[in-house]
Amino acid sequence: MKLIKLDAIDSTNIYVKELIAKGDIKNYTAIISKYQTSGRGRNNNIWLDEPSKNLNFTLYKEFNTFKIENKFLLNIISSISVFNLLKKYNLKNHSIKWPNDIMSGNKKISGILIENNIRGKLINYSVMGIGINVNQLNFKNLPKATSLHIETGVTNSPELMAEELQQILKLNFELMQENPDKLLDDYNKFLFEKDKTVNYLTNNKILLGRLIKVNKLGEILIRNNDGVIEKFNVDEIKLIY
Ligand code: BTN
């Protein structure tokens, strides 16, 4: 598996897409960059980080017969892989916030941006961008962000973490072939606010409910005050925390 290491780039996701356009990339190739001038997050957000402190990583994954309806498995695999990596680095008290943020306590330590290329009913390939806050100590104007160093007191090498993350992702893609249900079970086991009654924002209204689980389509199941279970997908609801 190839790991390409860059010093600076606009965004590792964009870089991977450029390599794809040139036909110059193999399955499981990953790119890291010490700095991104134009890092991107979900919902058109920007992803900012201090140079040389964190892990900016993108994996290129191609598929032969991966059906679109299973696309949430990509969120599951990427979040479980980051979860497991951080566990190896002695992080405790972390969880997966639906759909695919990694939290340490109540603060975000990692974010994931998955961009799929679709052909007919199949996903042709996926560009999986993962940002992990590793050594950054200050998050100006981002009170809900944290890093591995802040949480464990230890400095780590983003490069070494990238090598391990690439291996873990590959293992989890192999597990996906054999036992996708195990991945979904783990995802639910590590879910942020699972079984807790908290506030959600949906349709400009507050919904107080208990998070039951996430199903394989990626929908979140919430039991409302009347005991009725409601189902939502990603753009329909936001957790208030
Ligand atoms: C989010 O939480 O909104 C997702 C953040 C994803 C950030 C990573 S860093 C590496 C890759 N390159 C990008 O431009 N974004 C992703």
Q: What is the pLDDT of residues 179-238, one digit of tens each?
A: 999 999 999 999 999 999 999 999 999 999 999 999 999 999 999 999 999 999 999 999
Residues in the chain: 241
Residue partners of 172: CB distance under 8 A and separation at least 6: 77, 80, 81, 183
Closest ligand 1 atom number to CA of residue 45: 3
113 lines ligand 1 (CB under 6 A): yes
Q: Percentage of the chain surpassing pLDDT 90?
A: 97
Closest CA to 67 of 124, 113, 114: 124
State how far the Cα of 164 lies from the Cα of 145, in Å rounded to an integer. Answer: 23
Decide: 43 and 118 in contact? Cβ < 8 Å: no
Residue 196 in tokens: 């807790």
**Averaged pLDDT for residues 32-51:** 95
Predicted TM-score of the model (pTM): 0.96
Q: Longest Cα pair distance anywhere in the chain, in angstroms?
A: 55
**Averaged pLDDT for residues 147-156:** 98
For ligand 1, atom 2: residue with the closest CA? 111
Give me the pLDDT at residue 241, please: 78
